[in-house]
Structure formats: structure tokens, C-alpha cells
Amino acid sequence: MKNLMTSYINLMDRVNKLLYYFSGVLLISMSVIIIYQVFSRFVLEASLPWSEELTRYLMIWAVFIGASLALRNGALIGVEAIAEAMPNSIKKAMKISVSLFSMIFFGFLIFIGLDIVEGVSVQTSPAMHIPMSWAYAAIPVGSLFMLLNSITVIFELIMNKEREAAH
């Protein structure tokens, strides 16, 4: 069982590395598009009608992917005053319980997100005319990675390999 958990943790670490690079590409793309929009508007005196829409969708994807990475690295904001006052065994049980409740919420987000994606699949974005399902797909995809990273966190807690928050 321990080998299975270790293998899963290693797999998710590799997946998270790809997500880390993907989120970097998203953030760099947003920056380049915004800089080009400012340049076009003030130097070329020609505004780009699609830039704000694209950066908004890239930001949505970056937030959901980034939240997944933050969850894995223990960097999400949380109230830990009660947990820190408890003995280690109770603290560990509380953290596992919180992760399990979070997994239920992420499962709900996946289910609702897929329903939303299906509902907007016939709509296109106003400026770029791309399917709105591409923008809304960030909800179930990001939630899936949050769910998978919650499992990783639980496995690490069980194996006493708790991570410190990334700074």
C-alpha cells in the first residue's frame, strides 16, 4: 500500500510540474498580450478587440491551475489556529478530514462544471468567436487537479511526509 501511495505522489509531482509550466505559459501570455494591447492603443492608436477577452480567459485558467498547485504545496490560505493547538494525532486527523470534505466539494465542482460546459457549448465568445466551453472548461479541469492533489495531500499525511507551505 505504501508503494502505491508513493507511486501516486511521484506521478502527481510530475503532473504538477507540467501544470507549473503550463501556468507559467498562461501568465507570460497574459502579460505579453496586455503589453501589446497597451502598445497598440497608445502608440499605434488601434485597440485590439480580442485582447481583454483572451486575457480574462487565460486568467481564469491560471487561477484554477494555480489553486491546484497551491493546494498541493500547502500555500492556500487557511485558519490553522485550532489545528496547531491540538496534539499531532488530532491535528493529522483534522487535516485529513478537511481534505476529505474538500474532495467532496471538488467533486461537486467537477460535476457542476461539466454541466456548465455542456450548457455553454453552443455559445461563442463575443470578440474572438471561440466556443465558450473552452473558457468554462477551467472549472472542471482545475477542480479535477485539486481533487487529485487532495488525494496526494492525504497520502502524504498518512505516510507522515507532510509538506511545509511553499514560500
CA distance 152 to 10: 9
Q: How far is CA 114 from the centre of its chain?
A: 16
DSSP lists the bridge partners of residue 131 as 124
CA distance 57 to 29: 11
Average pLDDT over residues 95-103: 94
pTM of the predicted protein model? 0.89
Nearest CA-CA partner of 96 in 167, 20, 51, 152:
152
150 touches 144 (CB < 8 A)? no
71 touches 115 (CB < 8 A)? no
CA distance 142 to 138: 6
pLDDT tens string 121-157: 999 999 999 999 999 999 999 999 999 999 999 999 9
Res. 33: pLDDT tops 60:
yes
Where residue 167 falls among pLDDT bands split at 50, 70, 90? very low
Average pLDDT over residues 98-119: 97
